[in-house]
Chains A and B, each alone.
Chain A
Amino acid sequence: DQQVKQNSPSLSVQEGRISILNCDYTNSMFDYFLWYKKYPAEGPTFLISISSIKDKNEDGRFTVFLNKSAKHLSLHIVPSQPGDSAVYFCAAKGVGNEKLTFGTGTRLTIIP
Protein backbone atom coordinates (compact mmCIF):
# COMPACT_ATOMS: atom_id res chain seq x y z
CA ASP A 1 0.00 0.00 0.00
CA GLN A 2 1.78 3.11 -1.28
CA GLN A 3 0.90 5.91 1.13
CA VAL A 4 2.93 8.51 -0.75
CA LYS A 5 2.62 8.53 -4.53
CA GLN A 6 4.47 10.31 -7.27
CA ASN A 7 2.53 9.41 -10.38
CA SER A 8 4.88 11.02 -12.89
CA PRO A 9 8.11 9.02 -13.25
CA SER A 10 9.68 11.74 -15.38
CA LEU A 11 9.28 15.37 -16.38
CA SER A 12 11.12 17.53 -18.92
CA VAL A 13 11.11 21.32 -18.67
CA GLN A 14 12.79 24.06 -20.67
CA GLU A 15 15.48 26.03 -18.87
CA GLY A 16 14.07 29.20 -17.35
CA ARG A 17 10.51 27.88 -17.19
CA ILE A 18 8.66 26.62 -14.11
CA SER A 19 8.98 22.99 -13.02
CA ILE A 20 6.07 21.55 -11.07
CA LEU A 21 6.49 18.20 -9.34
CA ASN A 22 3.46 16.56 -7.76
CA CYS A 23 2.90 14.18 -4.88
CA ASP A 24 -0.28 12.62 -3.47
CA TYR A 25 -0.74 10.93 -0.11
CA THR A 26 -3.42 8.80 1.47
CA ASN A 27 -2.67 9.05 5.21
CA SER A 28 -4.37 12.02 6.87
CA MET A 29 -2.13 11.53 9.93
CA PHE A 30 0.99 12.88 8.20
CA ASP A 31 2.17 16.09 9.90
CA TYR A 32 5.31 16.97 7.94
CA PHE A 33 6.10 16.77 4.25
CA LEU A 34 9.52 17.05 2.67
CA TRP A 35 11.20 17.10 -0.72
CA TYR A 36 14.57 15.52 -1.35
CA LYS A 37 16.75 15.81 -4.43
CA LYS A 38 19.05 13.07 -5.66
CA TYR A 39 21.83 13.16 -8.20
CA PRO A 40 23.16 9.90 -9.72
CA ALA A 41 25.64 8.00 -7.52
CA GLU A 42 24.93 10.30 -4.56
CA GLY A 43 22.67 10.13 -1.55
CA PRO A 44 19.49 12.23 -1.44
CA THR A 45 19.78 15.74 -0.03
CA PHE A 46 17.08 17.65 1.80
CA LEU A 47 15.50 20.45 -0.21
CA ILE A 48 12.48 21.93 1.55
CA SER A 49 9.77 20.95 4.01
CA ILE A 50 6.31 22.05 5.09
CA SER A 51 4.30 21.46 8.22
CA SER A 52 0.71 20.30 7.90
CA ILE A 53 -0.46 23.52 9.58
CA LYS A 54 0.81 25.57 6.63
CA ASP A 55 -0.19 25.62 2.99
CA LYS A 56 2.94 27.18 1.50
CA ASN A 57 6.64 27.37 2.21
CA GLU A 58 9.16 29.20 0.07
CA ASP A 59 12.96 29.03 -0.08
CA GLY A 60 14.57 30.92 -2.93
CA ARG A 61 13.57 29.33 -6.22
CA PHE A 62 11.74 26.49 -4.47
CA THR A 63 8.18 26.65 -3.17
CA VAL A 64 6.16 23.80 -1.73
CA PHE A 65 2.36 23.95 -1.68
CA LEU A 66 0.17 21.73 0.49
CA ASN A 67 -3.51 21.09 -0.20
CA LYS A 68 -4.74 19.05 2.75
CA SER A 69 -8.28 18.61 1.49
CA ALA A 70 -6.96 17.06 -1.72
CA LYS A 71 -4.08 15.28 0.09
CA HIS A 72 -1.74 16.75 -2.48
CA LEU A 73 1.55 18.62 -2.37
CA SER A 74 3.60 20.12 -5.12
CA LEU A 75 7.09 21.52 -5.55
CA HIS A 76 7.55 24.53 -7.81
CA ILE A 77 10.98 25.44 -9.11
CA VAL A 78 11.26 28.76 -10.85
CA PRO A 79 13.22 29.54 -12.88
CA SER A 80 14.44 26.03 -13.68
CA GLN A 81 18.17 25.63 -14.17
CA PRO A 82 20.27 22.80 -15.68
CA GLY A 83 21.60 21.92 -12.22
CA ASP A 84 18.04 21.11 -11.16
CA SER A 85 18.12 17.96 -13.30
CA ALA A 86 17.84 15.18 -10.72
CA VAL A 87 15.39 12.73 -9.18
CA TYR A 88 13.03 14.35 -6.68
CA PHE A 89 11.45 12.38 -3.86
CA CYS A 90 8.61 13.58 -1.73
CA ALA A 91 8.39 12.19 1.80
CA ALA A 92 5.99 12.39 4.72
CA LYS A 93 6.19 11.90 8.47
CA GLY A 94 3.32 10.55 10.55
CA VAL A 95 2.17 12.14 13.81
CA GLY A 96 4.18 10.70 16.70
CA ASN A 97 6.30 8.74 14.23
CA GLU A 98 10.06 8.77 13.96
CA LYS A 99 10.37 7.77 10.33
CA LEU A 100 9.65 9.05 6.83
CA THR A 101 7.64 7.43 4.06
CA PHE A 102 9.04 8.19 0.62
CA GLY A 103 7.43 8.35 -2.78
CA THR A 104 8.89 6.57 -5.80
CA GLY A 105 10.52 9.68 -7.25
CA THR A 106 10.21 11.87 -10.34
CA ARG A 107 13.17 12.34 -12.68
CA LEU A 108 13.34 16.01 -13.71
CA THR A 109 15.30 16.91 -16.83
CA ILE A 110 15.95 20.57 -17.60
CA ILE A 111 16.45 21.16 -21.31
CA PRO A 112 18.97 23.94 -22.11
Chain B
Amino acid sequence: NAGVTQTPKFRVLKTGQSMTLLCAQDMNHEYMYWYRQDPGMGLRLIHYSVGEGTTAKGEVPDGYNVSRLKKQNFLLGLESAAPSQTSVYFCASSRNFVEQFFGPGTRLTVL
Protein backbone atom coordinates (compact mmCIF):
# COMPACT_ATOMS: atom_id res chain seq x y z
CA ASN B 1 0.00 0.00 0.00
CA ALA B 2 1.29 3.45 -0.94
CA GLY B 3 -0.93 5.14 1.67
CA VAL B 4 -1.40 8.83 0.83
CA THR B 5 0.57 10.27 -2.07
CA GLN B 6 0.83 13.89 -3.20
CA THR B 7 1.81 15.30 -6.56
CA PRO B 8 3.94 17.34 -7.11
CA LYS B 9 6.47 17.44 -4.26
CA PHE B 10 7.74 20.92 -5.12
CA ARG B 11 6.44 23.76 -7.27
CA VAL B 12 7.34 27.37 -7.92
CA LEU B 13 4.64 29.64 -9.34
CA LYS B 14 4.49 33.26 -10.35
CA THR B 15 1.79 35.49 -8.90
CA GLY B 16 -1.43 35.00 -10.83
CA GLN B 17 -0.64 31.54 -12.16
CA SER B 18 -2.89 28.60 -11.44
CA MET B 19 -2.15 25.04 -10.44
CA THR B 20 -3.72 21.87 -9.08
CA LEU B 21 -2.32 19.68 -6.33
CA LEU B 22 -3.31 16.03 -6.49
CA CYS B 23 -3.83 13.78 -3.49
CA ALA B 24 -4.46 10.07 -3.83
CA GLN B 25 -5.13 7.42 -1.18
CA ASP B 26 -5.41 3.66 -1.54
CA MET B 27 -6.93 2.87 1.87
CA ASN B 28 -10.57 3.28 0.80
CA HIS B 29 -11.02 6.12 3.30
CA GLU B 30 -14.18 8.22 3.20
CA TYR B 31 -12.68 11.38 4.68
CA MET B 32 -10.00 13.50 3.02
CA TYR B 33 -8.44 16.80 4.04
CA TRP B 34 -6.16 19.55 2.76
CA TYR B 35 -4.00 21.47 5.26
CA ARG B 36 -1.36 24.11 4.97
CA GLN B 37 1.54 24.43 7.38
CA ASP B 38 3.22 27.77 7.98
CA PRO B 39 5.95 28.62 10.53
CA GLY B 40 4.44 29.28 13.94
CA MET B 41 0.91 28.54 12.70
CA GLY B 42 0.69 24.77 12.95
CA LEU B 43 -1.58 22.90 10.56
CA ARG B 44 -4.60 24.81 9.31
CA LEU B 45 -7.47 23.11 7.50
CA ILE B 46 -8.24 24.50 4.04
CA HIS B 47 -11.03 22.22 2.76
CA TYR B 48 -12.19 18.71 3.50
CA SER B 49 -14.48 16.01 2.13
CA VAL B 50 -16.61 13.44 3.94
CA GLY B 51 -17.19 11.34 0.84
CA GLU B 52 -17.09 11.16 -2.94
CA GLY B 53 -18.78 14.19 -4.49
CA THR B 54 -18.78 16.23 -1.25
CA THR B 55 -16.58 19.10 -0.11
CA ALA B 56 -16.68 21.57 2.76
CA LYS B 57 -14.76 24.65 3.86
CA GLY B 58 -12.20 24.53 6.62
CA GLU B 59 -10.48 27.25 8.57
CA VAL B 60 -8.68 29.03 5.68
CA PRO B 61 -10.56 28.30 2.41
CA ASP B 62 -10.17 31.63 0.60
CA GLY B 63 -8.21 31.43 -2.65
CA TYR B 64 -8.57 27.65 -2.94
CA ASN B 65 -11.04 25.27 -4.55
CA VAL B 66 -11.32 21.51 -4.24
CA SER B 67 -12.98 18.58 -5.96
CA ARG B 68 -13.59 14.96 -4.98
CA LEU B 69 -14.86 13.29 -8.14
CA LYS B 70 -13.43 9.91 -7.16
CA LYS B 71 -13.26 8.47 -3.66
CA GLN B 72 -9.52 7.95 -3.82
CA ASN B 73 -8.60 11.42 -5.12
CA PHE B 74 -8.87 14.89 -3.63
CA LEU B 75 -7.70 17.84 -5.73
CA LEU B 76 -6.73 21.27 -4.43
CA GLY B 77 -6.75 24.14 -6.92
CA LEU B 78 -5.28 27.61 -6.79
CA GLU B 79 -6.92 29.74 -9.48
CA SER B 80 -4.70 32.83 -9.12
CA ALA B 81 -1.72 32.21 -6.87
CA ALA B 82 -0.58 34.88 -4.40
CA PRO B 83 2.65 35.11 -2.37
CA SER B 84 0.56 34.55 0.80
CA GLN B 85 -0.12 31.03 -0.50
CA THR B 86 3.55 30.11 -0.20
CA SER B 87 3.40 27.19 2.20
CA VAL B 88 3.75 23.46 2.67
CA TYR B 89 0.52 21.67 1.78
CA PHE B 90 -0.46 18.35 3.34
CA CYS B 91 -3.22 16.03 2.30
CA ALA B 92 -4.67 13.52 4.74
CA SER B 93 -7.26 10.76 4.70
CA SER B 94 -9.17 9.05 7.46
CA ARG B 95 -11.64 6.27 8.06
CA ASN B 96 -13.18 7.86 11.14
CA PHE B 97 -11.96 11.50 11.08
CA VAL B 98 -10.01 10.94 14.29
CA GLU B 99 -6.82 9.20 13.16
CA GLN B 100 -5.69 10.86 9.94
CA PHE B 101 -3.01 9.55 7.61
CA PHE B 102 -0.92 12.27 6.00
CA GLY B 103 0.91 12.48 2.70
CA PRO B 104 4.53 13.67 2.46
CA GLY B 105 3.59 17.25 1.56
CA THR B 106 3.96 19.67 -1.34
CA ARG B 107 6.24 22.67 -0.93
CA LEU B 108 4.80 25.59 -2.93
CA THR B 109 6.54 28.91 -3.48
CA VAL B 110 4.70 31.80 -5.11
CA LEU B 111 6.95 34.59 -6.38
B31 interface hit (Cβ, 8 Å): yes
Structural contact, A98 and B50, CB atoms closer than 8 A: yes
Q: Chain A 29-44, CB within 8 Å of chain B: the 1/0 string?
A: 0001010000001111
Interface residues on A, range: 20 to 34
Q: Chain A 101-112, CB within 8 Å of chain B: the 1/0 string?
A: 111110000000
Could you say which of A32, A44, A99, A104 contacts B102, with CB atoms under 8 Å apart? A44
Could you say which of B44, B59, B103 contacts A43, with CB atoms under 8 Å apart? B103
A-B contact count (CB 8 A): 55
A76 interface hit (Cβ, 8 Å): no
Binding site for B on A (CB under 8 A): 6, 9, 32, 34, 41-46, 49, 89, 91, 93, 98-105
